[in-house]
Amino acid sequence: MKISVIGCGYLGAVHAATLASMGHNVLGIDVDPVKVEQLGQGAAPFHEPGLDELLQDGQAKGRLRFSTDPADAKGAQVHFLCVGTPQDKTSDAADLTFLVSAAEALLPHLAAGAVVVGKSTVPVGTVDMLRGVLAARPDVLLGWNPEFLRQGTAVKDSLVPDRLVYGVDGGRAAAFNPSSGGPLGVTAALDAVYEPLLRAGIPRLVCNFATAELIKSAANAYLATKISFINAVAELCDASGADISELSEAMGLDPRIGSRYLHAGLGFGGGCLPKDIRSFRAQAAGHGVTAVEDWMQLVDSVNLGQRSRTVALAEELCGGSLAGRSITVLGASFKPETDDIRDSPALDVADRLAAAGAHVTVTDPKAVNHAWRRYPRLRFEASILRALEGAELVLLLTEWDEYRDFSPAVAAALVRRPVVLDARNALDAAAWQGEGWTVRGLGTRHGGTQPVSGTSPVSGMRPASATYR
């Protein structure tokens, strides 16, 4: 099929490349000429494992092109809108400016009967609004096909998604009613686009627009809920002498709960979960649904609280004052396997430490080039060896494999004081302690967490310090 993808950021570039790998003829369009140039050379402007190979392969086979000109989308049968929907600068709501301008730019170039499908994460009601933008073209069919890929595993998530969701006019009944016309067209078009995935047995759900829009917001809100839940419990672990890693492992073994997104630590960041829970809250408020509104507020504040807890713990480990202390932060991206620093918890914490007077050196395997311009208070160092030199406190804030696997003996020889705050609960604490390190985590008991002695406040229980390992 001939397909255009409007917006070639983390979502659109991956979508364009994976569609080309499925055999389609794909044109990616973006307003940023530098991005288009890089993509056209087979080099993604961001770090995403496996993407460069797909870009190069698609272009070598003549199936993938990039352009800045929406007119080049002429003749495509399906157009995917993949532009960003960031948080509004003055409220919690999503900013739909890019989405509207993408639809407007596409409008004069749409072939008769073309299908326009949104993939961006949007508040419920967005499709109705876009219908207004495309009102001059009643022959054009609209669909909504939310994307669930994660940065760092985006290529795999796109090639083997957990599910495909199609939002179509009228929803499920219309989609399966051969006499209903238009909506069937969108379902049929998307089935043709995703034919290899459907053949491989990926589940496909067809629903109305509002449901498709909400599925994505609710899914992200649930993932954020799981993370904030376990982080709130981690605080209780700290207060009571329990260990969050053992607790979450045991909880996760219950298949009704599952272990994913139950890893306690510094909390979530990035360009999606934080702004999506705020948008979800704004949507709930707009519909007068206070339960969801309050819920999201709590999830957000627990999440941001983890950053404050980390700063407070760092201060405690520095003897009560951060002023003048040399601190090394391992990790700048919002999570491993990406160079994305949008709403990065690591950089937020690092910057707060610097604001309190510490000399903070940050290292990261991929994100240093993105970060250094934005954070003038921080010193950036590409080499972990140089970053560790003379540190009085080391913070692990993004759990790259490079840091998990780093030799604690080598690290101990470089620092001035072997104290590490593992805010991702990712290090092998025993191995680090074996090399003389004091190890602290969030909600874990290794090393220095509050010693609990005597009897537990709950009568009849063993003291929490008794290990069950």
Give 191's contacts (C-beta < 8 A, 6+ positions apart). Answer: 198, 204
Burial 174-187 (b: 16+ CB within 10 A, else e): bbeeeeeebbbbbb
The SS3 call for residue 101 is helix
Instruction: Tell me what percent of the chain is helix, strand and coil, each rounded to the nearest 5.
Output: 45, 15, 45
Active site residue 272: yes
**Which CB atom, from 120 or from 326, has the smaller least distance to ligand UGA?**
120
Helices (H), 88-125: 97-106
Looking at the Cβ atoms of 223 and 394, the one nearer to ligand UGA is 223
CB of 349 to ligand UGA, least distance (A): 12
Q: How far apart are CA 97 and CA 90, in angstroms?
A: 14
Distance set, CA 397 to CA 179, 233, 267, 344, 347 (Å): 56, 19, 10, 10, 9
Which residues lie closer than 8 Å to 320 by C-beta, 6 or more apart? none
Q: Cβ of residue 412: shortest distance to ligand UGA, in angstroms?
A: 27
CB of 206 to ligand UGA, least distance (A): 20
Which strand (E) or helix (H) includes residue 315?
helix 290-317
Contact positions toward ligand UGA, by CB under 6 A?
A: 121, 147-151, 220, 223, 227, 261-263, 265, 267-270, 272-273, 276, 334-335
| Nearest alpha-carbon partner for 309 in 362, 275, 265 | 265
Minimum distance between the CB of residue 391 and ligand UGA, rounded to whole angstroms?
23
Q: Report the C-alpha gap between 47 and 446 in whole angstroms.
A: 34
The distance of closest approach from Cβ of residue 227 to ligand UGA in the complex, given in angstroms and rounded to an integer, is: 4
Comparing CB distances to ligand UGA, the nearer of 146 and 183 is 146
Q: How far is the CB of 249 from ligand UGA (least distance, A)?
A: 12
* Residue 174, token pair as written in the block: 């219309």
User: What minimum distance in Å lies between the beta carbon of 231 and ligand UGA?
Assistant: 8
CB of 86 to ligand UGA, least distance (A): 12
Q: Which is nearer to ligand UGA, 270 or 418 (CB)?
A: 270
Toward ligand UGA, which CB reaches closer, 268 or 380? 268
Give me the helices (H) in 107-153, please.
Answer: 126-133
Active-site residue (options: 8, 207, 272, 318): 272
**Closer to ligand UGA by Cβ: residue 141 or 234:** 234
The candidate with the shortest Cα–Cα distance to 423, out of 344, 367, 343, 337, is 344
Nearer to ligand UGA, 67 or 120 (CB): 120
Residue 462 CA to its chain's centroid (Å): 40
Residue 255, C-beta contacts closer than 8 angstroms, at least 6 positions apart: none
- DSSP structure class, residue 455: S
Strand ordering across the sheet containing 393-396: 379-380, 359-363, 326-330, 393-396, 419-422, 438-441
Q: What 3-state DSSP class applies to 433?
A: helix
Which amino acid is residue 46, in one-letter code?
F
Please name the residue that has the structure tokens 């008769």: 112
Q: With left for phi above 0 and alpha for psi between -120 and 50, is residue 365 left, alpha or beta?
A: alpha
From 120, 33, 31, 45, select the one nearest 79 (Cα to Cα): 120
Q: Which is nearer to ligand UGA, 325 or 335 (CB)?
A: 335
* Shortest distance in whole angstroms from residue 21 CB to ligand UGA: 19
Instruction: Output 42 or 267, the one with its CB closest to ligand UGA.
Output: 267
Active site residues per annotation: 272
